[in-house]
């Protein structure tokens, strides 16, 4: 387990499952989602996607300990007050995590948007110190080419960018807003990027795994005009290592925390 000031490993049930394979260890950064830091919005599509109420921000240990929530708010406020200082802190944290993984004999994986949807690939330059001096980089991904980064995103325009080779994105689907749902489907079809779908229960999700049908049987009236079918639905809860998924699939997840009561359309029945 690595405990940094911004990122930590070993505290997420899904990443622990993936870490058991022995190749990677995953560290995640959790911020205060949407506008909950009261200083800015780190989830620009939260309202359109209808995921704010169902957010995992209060799931797991964060749902039990107010101190965890306050710590995440404090981190997010540091991000908005002084981004350059925040990025310097993040570089140091990832450097320490990378060294920790080297000592442990595993490969480092980092998920920066545990409970946020920041576009780290743009507008986030940073510096890293080497023996030869301080080097400037356009992004944290360029600063650490030997670290595997990955995230889920509802900012579908990111799928059209030329992302760094060590950064993997998975689109996040929601039917809370038909316009948003259609845009995500269009993006997935045009780019081939994987799309995560949250199902009401493990049983519903598992049924999709066996049927190969991401959204049910169109003949029974369940499927809306905005839904698509992909030939493969993979178990997204077996591991959180989305960068290991085959391309062009539905990543099937099932509800946890507040999302169990969601009625916005973010959760698919």
Encode pLDDT of 10-24 as tens digits.
866 656 665 556 789
In the chain, the largest separation of any two C-alpha atoms, in whole Å, equals 65
Cβ contact 2:25 at 8 Å:
yes
Distance CA 22, CA 262 (A): 35
Q: What HEC string does 141-165 produce?
A: HHHCCCCEEEEEECCHHHHHCCCCC
- Among the listed residues 94, 117, 89, the one whose alpha carbon sits nearest the alpha carbon of residue 30: 117
pTM across the whole model? 0.85
* pLDDT at position 62 over 90: no
* pLDDT at position 56 over 80: no
* pLDDT at position 221 over 60: no
Q: What HEC string does 75-94 produce?
A: HHHHHHHCHHHHHHHHHHHH
* pLDDT at position 222 over 60: no
Encode pLDDT of 235-254 as tens digits.
998 889 999 999 988 899 88
pLDDT band at 55 (very low <50, low <70, confident <90, very high): low
pLDDT band at 230 (very low <50, low <70, confident <90, very high): low
Query: Which burial class, exposed, middle or buried, applies to 101 when counting CB atoms under 10 A from its CB (0-12, 13-18, 19+)?
Result: buried
Distance CA 61, CA 42 (A): 21
For the chain, the distance separating the N- and C-terminal CA atoms, rounded to the nearest angstrom, is 36
From 103-107, 128-132, 261-265, the region with the lowest mean pLDDT: 261-265
Distance CA 251, CA 246 (A): 10
Query: Where would I find the H helices in 4-52?
Result: 13-19, 46-49
Cβ contact 196:171 at 8 Å:
yes
Dihedral angle sign, alpha carbons of residues 142, 115, 59, 51: negative
Encode pLDDT of 19-45 as tens digits.
556 789 999 999 998 888 888 999 999
Buried b vs exposed e over 120-129: b needs ≥16 C-beta within 10 Å? Answer: bbeebebebe
pLDDT band at 210 (very low <50, low <70, confident <90, very high): low
From 65-74, 100-109, 131-140, the region with the lowest mean pLDDT: 65-74
Helix (H, G, I), strand (E, B) or coil at 69: helix
């Amino acid at each position: 387990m690595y405990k940094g000031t911004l990122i930590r490993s070993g505290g997420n049930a899904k990443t622990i499952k993936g870490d058991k394979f022995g190749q990677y260890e995953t560290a995640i950064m959790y911020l205060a989602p949407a506008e909950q830091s009261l200083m800015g919005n780190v989830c620009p599509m939260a309202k359109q996607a209808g995921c704010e109420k169902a957010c995992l921000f209060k799931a797991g240990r964060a749902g039990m300990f107010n101190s965890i929530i306050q710590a995440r708010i404090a981190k997010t406020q540091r991000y908005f007050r002084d981004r350059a200082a925040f990025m310097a802190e993040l570089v140091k944290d990832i450097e320490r995590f990378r060294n920790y993984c080297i000592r442990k004999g595993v490969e480092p994986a980092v998920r920066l948007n545990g409970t946020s949807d920041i576009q780290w690939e743009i507008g986030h330059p940073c510096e890293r110190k080497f023996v030869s001096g301080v080097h400037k980089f356009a992004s944290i991904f360029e600063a650490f080419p030997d670290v595997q980064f990955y995230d889920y995103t509802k900012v579908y325009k990111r799928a059209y960018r030329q992302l760094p080779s060590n950064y993997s994105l998975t689109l996040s689907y929601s039917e809370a807003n038909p316009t948003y749902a259609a845009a995500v489907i269009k993006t997935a079809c045009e780019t081939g990027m994987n799309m995560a779908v949250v199902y009401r229960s493990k049983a519903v999700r598992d049924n999709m795994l066996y049927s190969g049908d991401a959204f049910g049987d169109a003949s029974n009236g369940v499927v809306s005009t905005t839904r698509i079918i992909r030939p493969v639905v993979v178990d997204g809860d077996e591991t959180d290592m989305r960068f290991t998924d085959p391309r062009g699939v539905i990543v099937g997840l099932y509800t946890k925390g507040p999302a169990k009561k969601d009625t916005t359309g973010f959760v698919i029945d």
